[in-house]
Amino acid sequence: MPTDAQFQLKSQYPANLDRCRRCGAPRTLHWADGSCRPSFSLGSKVLALLVTLSVLVAVLAVAAWLLATAPAVNLASVLAFACLVALVLAGAATALAATTSALRAAMDDARHEGGAGSA
């Protein structure tokens, strides 16, 4: 695809804020030859995965702290904590699987379209 046809112009002349028709990123976030940088499309997915996993770890840490500081720990508390751990691990596995498949698809697209650069 020619570089001029690749970008949706915001004005009459090419500008740095023109959007790419393939990845949606501005012109400034592309290589000199106009090819898409895979790091921009992957960055938001990796950030979302890190935030999701951080929240899940924080939930587990708070629950473990509450369980450890309870004056009397009974079987119901331990079972509730085990159920919470199972739910959090299931959520983490789902988030990890969804993000991993999205990352693989984005990297395959970048590789097949010639957008994979050296950085």
Tens-digit pLDDT string for the chain (119 aa):
455 677 777 777 777 778 888 777 787 777 777 777 665 455 667 777 788 888 888 888 888 888 888 888 888 888 888 898 898 888 888 877 877 777 777 767 666 655 444 44
User: What is the pTM for the complete model shown?
Assistant: 0.48
Where exactly are the structural domains of the chain? 7-35, 37-119
Q: H/E/C letters for each residue in the chain?
A: CCHHHHEECCCCCCCCCCEECCCCCEHHHECCCCCECHHHHHHHHHHHHHHHHHHHHHHHHHHHHHHHCCCCCCHHHHHHHHHHHHHHHHHHHHHHHHHHHHHHHHHHHHHHCCCCCCC
